[in-house]
Amino acid sequence: MQKLWIVVPMYNGAQDVPDFCESLKQCTEQGSYTLVGVDDCSPDNSADLLRTSCPQAIVLRNAKNSGFAGACNTGMRYGIEHGAQYVMLANQDLRFLPNWRDPLISLLDSDASLGAVQPKILMYPDTTLINSCGNELHILGFGYTRGYLKKNSEFFCDGVRDVGYCSGAAVIYRIDVLRRIGLLDEKFFMYHEDSDICWRMQQAGYRTVVSPLSVVAHRYEFSRSIQKFYYIERNRLLMMLKNYQLKTLVLLAPLFLFWECSIVAYSIIGLLSRKNTVIRVKEKIKSYAFFLKPSIWAYIARERKKSAPLRVKQDADIMRHFTCDIAFQDVDSPIIRNVANPITRWYWKCIKRFV
């Protein structure tokens, strides 16, 4: 049984699956992995294409669309049950480049403190640009890719580096760590499940790193969809409430209120066309309404109680790998750059010694 299992969550991926499989076969030694595709009740023929393009693949089918987290967990559970040592999550629009596997496996084999390792991810088809050289996690839960759209030849990304979190588009998790802290949180459905699991790993004393010696490419396009806005905002708050210690939540509360007011104003102004501005505000309000359910607070309490015995690192240690700045090209604005970021840096400087 191979130590590495590659799990591909599949949903409307027909246009990508053949190229995904071809790049995997061309750039990976045969027999050095087990491939598992999870058909998340996809309306297209992604699963059939995977069977045709990669006959050795195991194809699992979910009875309903369980989101990115649920699809990945289906594959990871199967790998755990069948003796996997490491499991890789790989987006269906990923492209593998030569010698991507060995640096990651060698790194994990040599350092038991590593819970998650991400390769450098380039854009596809323009592989001269970076998609992610490790992801940044803001102290208020915002996540974004480090080095996004920077020139690969110019952006410094050298050596293994601890990161806020590893991108779920291409990441390898250590199975022993997953057995301890659990899998992706299916309550998230999609977005922030990758940052949440890395946060939980760091709490339990494991490192989450990027290794630029391994390189893959990703056909990524930044989305401004209304649905994405709802899930990102909802899950950002859920992640903070689950993972921060109570003292930290209290200390961050004034800064949180400042940012929330700013986000509501941002929603009203809108990055989208005017006809979507009202919808955008409704989605933000909907993200707050999610927390009006007593069942959600009961769930948060259970998750906090479950993770407490595993915690070996305090927030102050974990937050050393977080950032105070939003520095993502597709959401850059003078207000964020010249007002929100400086205020956040100043406030964090004032309170960090109390965390």
Measured distance CA(282)–CA(264) in Å, rounded? 10
Nearest to 285 by CA among 258, 260, 250: 260
Listed residue (20, 66, 15, 21) closest to 39, CA to CA: 66
- Residue type at 87? V
Full pLDDT tens readout for the chain, 355 residues: 579 999 999 988 888 999 999 999 999 887 799 999 999 888 888 888 998 998 999 999 988 889 999 999 999 999 999 999 999 999 999 999 999 999 999 999 999 999 999 999 999 999 999 999 999 999 999 999 999 999 998 888 888 999 999 999 999 999 999 999 999 999 999 999 999 999 999 999 999 999 999 999 999 876 555 668 889 999 999 999 999 999 999 999 999 999 988 877 766 665 444 455 566 778 888 999 999 999 999 999 999 999 999 999 999 999 999 999 988 777 777 878 888 899 999 999 999 999 9
- pLDDT 10s digits, 255-281: 999 998 887 776 666 544 445 556 677
Alpha-helical (H) ranges within the chain are 17-27, 46-53, 67-81, 101-110, 175-181, 193-203, 226-243, 246-269, 277-289, 294-307, 315-318, 334-335, 341-351
What burial letters (b/e) apply to 326-354, b meaning 16+ CB within 10 Å? bebeeeeeeebeeebbeebeebbeeeeee
Q: In this predicted structure, what is the pLDDT of residue 327? A: 84
Beta-carbon contacts of residue 353 (< 8 Å; ≥ 6 apart): none
Which positions ≥6 away from 180 have C-beta within 8 Å?
A: 204, 310
Q: What is the pLDDT of residue 272?
A: 44
In this predicted structure, what is the pLDDT of residue 13? 81
Phi/psi at 208 (5° precision) = -120, 120
User: CA nearest 91: which of 162, 152, 178, 167?
Assistant: 167
DSSP state, residue 338 = I
SS3 96: strand
3-state SS class at 251: helix
Between CA 215 and CA 218, with CA 217 as vertex, the angle to 5 degrees is 140
